[in-house]
Structure 1
Amino acid sequence: MPRIAPIGSRIARYMDVPESAKGPAVDPAKGYRLQDLGEGLFVITDNAYQSMFLVYETGVVVVDAPPSFAGHIRQAIAEITLKPVTHLIYSHSHLDHIGGAKGLGGHPVIVAHEETRRLLVRANDPNRPVPAVTFRDRFTLRAGSRILELSYHGNAHEPGNIFISVPASKTLMVVDVICPGWMPWRRLSLAEDIPGYFAQVEEIRHLPFDTLVAGHVARTGTKADVELQSEFLKDLKLAAGQALNTTKPGEGMDPRDMANPWALFDNYTDRVMVQCVNTLTPKWSTRLAGFDAFIWDQCYAMEQSLRGD
């Protein structure tokens, strides 16, 4: 039997969130928290989503506008400056990160990857205006004396998901790849390309930064958070691979079901996932917040990738 309740099983409560995964509290009267990253760069967060803005001589560059707190972004900026928002960078196309873009008001120049533009044209969502400026591989946004380096590293989470570096602040923003202190969102943050997702985590490991803005959870990240997620992913891949190689299809099934290929594979993959979850639970259940919420999803995504990718 699995050591962690499987998907669909209702339990009294989930595991406690480790202290290492928690961030500073959000003032409920404000609905957001500001974090100063230095050199005019600030993170805005509601401790579930994160965006950031960079103040320069004559304006402000915003990166992402999650609808969960987009209504507070101008209020947050006003705590620092009265300069206008001149640019808006999209990390990628997903609604939960840029669905508040229209609500920012004004007429900022929107910058994104060309794949993000393609997806937004298809979406035809008035709350996510189509970017005016796009790029393929790299783009340097110069705002006064400030510089943001944008780069594309291929499909992982989704096509068009970019890296945003602010060298003066030693900050890197990559959304929906690393979750500092936490288990990734289900099925490896819904990665469209799982080998690409693994490769991007390793790329991030080797980039120069002190602070990682990950787009999610309660705090910004560090190099140590990236190392921890890399270690977990390697263990996940090993556990799923071992389970695939040591689990015998059809074992213990009713012989009458053996002619049903969907039942055969359902039974097989369920037993693979049980072994994968049980292998990972002793080491990781107390090291990553949300382990019990999504470990079944991770094992499922991993064994599917190993069999299909």
Structure 2
Amino acid sequence: MSIKNSFTKSVFLFSLLSTSLAAVSSVAEAPSTVGAHYVPQSSSKVLAPGEKVTNLFNLNMTTPYILQRITENTYWYQSGFYGTIFYIGDKGVLLFDPLEQRAEPILKSIRSITDKPITAIVYSHDHADHISGADDLLKLLKNSQKEQPKIIASKATNKKMELLESNIKKPTKVLNWPNDTFKFEDLEVQLHGFEHAAHTDDHSAWLLVNERVLHAPDLLNADQPPFWNFAGSERFTYLEQNLKTADALKWDFFNGGHGNIGSHDDFAFHLKFIADLKKEVAKAIGEVPFGYGVDVAKINAHTIMLPTWYGEIAKRATDALRPKYGSYYGFETAVPANAEMVAEYLYSYR
């Protein structure tokens, strides 16, 4: 299958999912990992720190999009389990991460609040599912506003896009890496790049200083245990450091690109969960002999041994964590994969 046909297929599957979501009936939501106080979705009422949107899974499954006002000027958007934020200034709108296949609903959500032009777009990191909606959005804006928005990204993201010959619209304003600041009208926005990053080598956190809002997609999914492969991270190695770095910044609301609106309690939960996971993985490594589960008389290549070993370690760690964490969102799907990443980390670094 060609690359073009692969993308065509993925777009078709996304469309099929979007069409079928409306047919899903309401189901019981998973319990909160942080004892959250939930409030009904509102595009007009601001949140108090620590509050989260109620019934979020069902809203994602049954509505075109969710729009929540976080502060006086910052709004949180989510559809199909992908989220981002936008800030409304005196003259224009600052949008973070134009999500893949979501240009129209994002623009519709913004237009439901304001008719001010979108004057700037920020790329948080070079993953297409978070930024490839830029081209579609620019086409939609072409006839509705006089000037196209500037596109802002870090030097690391810009360099990566060039190196990988990205076909996504390139940045027009590049910030120094790993730390820099820009002004959007009266708003100060700080770039905090992770010099040693777990998710991608250009992964970063963006702090809306005046709003006390932090935007760092794929760092963690709030109100959930860590997602599969720690939100699709390229490595586990530096994740705990990245979480602690972001948690130390001065913010009240967090957008992780997936999951609910986050708080510092979500970071504490993730760090505790990871500590427990590392403990159980280490225990299983000590219990499971290398080659466990492999009939050596029936193989002609040793390559089956390592993944089989990791698989058994992950199973035992998942079983051990289930009594404490098993009722939480996505536990059965996410934890085995995460345990394998931790096993690789603990095996490699001693």
The alignment's TM-score, normalised by the length of structure 1, stands at: 0.86
Q: How big is the shift at 1:300?
A: 0.9
User: SS of the residue aligned with 1:20?
Assistant: coil
Tell me, yes or no, if structure 1 residue 291 matches structure 2 residue 336.
no
Deviation at 1:232, TM superposition (A): 0.7
Aligned twin of 1:108 = 149
Alpha-carbon contact 1:120-1:129 (below 8 Å) kept? no
> Deviation at 1:109?
1.0
Q: Aligned to 1:56, which of 89, 93, 98?
A: 89
Question: Do the aligned partners of residues 72 and 258 (structure 1) sit closer, same or farther apart at CA in structure 2, a change above 3 Å counting?
Answer: closer
Q: CA deviation at 1:281?
A: 1.3
- Shift of residue 19 of structure 1? 3.7
Q: What code does the residue aligned with 2:258 have?
A: H
CA distance in 1, matches of 2:128, 2:177: 21
Change (3 A) 1:247 1:59: same
Residue number in structure 2 paired with 1:7: none
Deviation at 1:259, TM superposition (A): 7.6
TM-aligned CA distance change 1:260 to 1:17, over 3 Å: farther
Q: Percent identity?
A: 21
Counterpart position of 1:245:
286
Q: Distance in 2 between matches of 1:207 and 1:291?
A: 28
1:238-281 C-alpha deviation (Å, 9 max, x unpaired): 11111112222235654525884224334432322222111111
8 Å CA contact retained: 2:121, 2:152? yes
Q: How does 1:66-215 map to 2 (within 5 A)?
A: 66-105=99-138, 106=142, 107-126=148-167, 128-134=168-174, 135-154=176-195, 155-215=197-257
Give the one of 213, 232, 236 matched to 2:273: 232
CA contact (8 A) 1:176 1:189 kept: yes
Change (3 A) 1:16 1:232: farther
Counting only pairs closer than 5 Å after superposition, residues 5-16 of structure 1 correspond to structure 2 as none
Q: Contact (CA 8 Å) 1:258, 1:264: kept in 2 or not?
A: no
The unaligned stretches of length 5 or more in structure 1 are 1-14
What's the CA shift string for 1:54-102, capped at 9, x where partnerless? 1112111100011242212222111222111111000111111111011
Per-residue deviation, 1:20: 2.3
The whole-number CA distance in structure 1 between the counterparts of 2:28 and 2:333 is 11
> In the aligned structure 2, how far is the partner of 1:289 from the partner of 1:68?
25
Provide, for residues 124-155 of structure 1, a one-character-per-residue CA deviation record: whole Å limited to 9, x for no partner.
Answer: 444x2111222212222212112211111222
Give the match for residue 313 of structure 2: 272
CA distance in 2, matches of 1:247, 1:16: 37
Aligned-pair CA distance for 1:193: 3.1
What SS class does the counterpart of residue 194 from structure 1 fall into? coil
How many residues are treated as equivalent by the alignment? 292
TM-score (norm 2): 0.76
Is the Cα–Cα contact under 8 Å of residues 88 and 94 in structure 2 kept in the other structure? Answer: yes
* 1:179 Cα offset (Å): 0.6
Aligned equivalents of 1:207 and 1:26: distance in 2?
30
Residue type matched to 1:61 in 2? L
Alignment correspondent of 1:9: none
Secondary structure of 1:195's aligned partner? coil
Counterpart secondary structure, 1:38: coil
Amino acid at match of 1:225: D
Answer whether contact 1:239 1:276 (CA < 8 A) is retained: yes
Q: Which has the higher contact order (CA 8 A, sep 6+)?
A: 1
Deviation beyond 3 Å, 4+ runs, structure 1: 21-30, 122-126, 250-255, 257-260
Gaps of 5+ in 2: 1-26, 34-53, 143-147
| Correspondence 1:18 to 2:30 | yes
Deviation at 1:39, TM superposition (A): 3.3
Whether the 8 Å contact between 1:250 and 1:258 is mirrored in structure 2 is no
User: How do 1:215-226 residues align onto structure 2 when only pairs under 5 Å count?
Assistant: 215-217=257-259, 219-226=260-267
* 1:23 to 1:29, Cα distance in 2 relative to 1, 3 A: closer
Please, which moves more after superposition, 162-171 or 182-191? 182-191
